[in-house]
Amino acid sequence: MFNTQMIDALVASSGCQKQRALAMFNRASGVALGLLGWVDPITLNNEHYRYIEVEACLNTDRVRGTVDDFTVYNPDDEPVKDVFETELNAQAQTKVLKEYPISRQMNIMRNLLTAMAEKLGMTHETSPELNELREMSGYINEILENNASRKEHFATSPDYNYISVEDNEAEYEATLDGGLHEVYGSRTTSLIQGV
């Protein structure tokens, strides 16, 4: 069991000190891009970017707005948190792919198409694509059978330590048990873009 008072004290004591920094902006649009540790702006790319000296905590602070109207802020202190649609999409995609990996999705579609073709009485003479589907299905089935045999071989061989997906996931989950993310929750900010 964690001593949450000790964790709270550690987090509070690790507060970041504001320091001299540069807010970086796109020169063409004026949109804020980020914060940099202070260096002489003359040494930086001034052709495509503009820099304004600010006070910021580089570990936590962000900059938003435009070169003419910007704010340096700590996302954790904001009353309203940013939630990126791309982050939600990535989380949903991860959940779907965990339950239905692409290969499983394709096998479900393959089996459905094969069953539909049989119900409709389609043959390779009336639909050459059906022959190609059957060839692909036969190949996939052969690979899956070979893979099952290989798994069984490695799982029963004394020369190998076979680690199943379930065992691997359980071991990984055990490494996370009791982590700070369980006490404080996950961070709401994300750098995921364009997923």
Per-residue pLDDT 10s for the chain (195 aa) are: 455 555 555 555 456 889 999 999 999 999 999 999 999 989 998 889 999 999 999 999 999 999 999 999 998 888 877 777 888 888 889 999 989 999 899 989 988 998 998 899 887 778 888 888 888 888 988 998 999 999 999 999 998 889 998 988 888 887 776 665 565 555 443 333 333
Domain ranges of the chain: 4-77, 85-184
Rounded to two decimals, the pTM is 0.49
How far does the chain reach from its first CA to its final CA, in angstroms? 37
3-class DSSP string for 154-178: HHHCCCCCCCCHHHHHHHHHHHHCC
Q: Which residues contact 136 (CB under 8 A, 6 or more apart)?
A: 110
51 in Cβ contact with 21 (< 8 Å): no
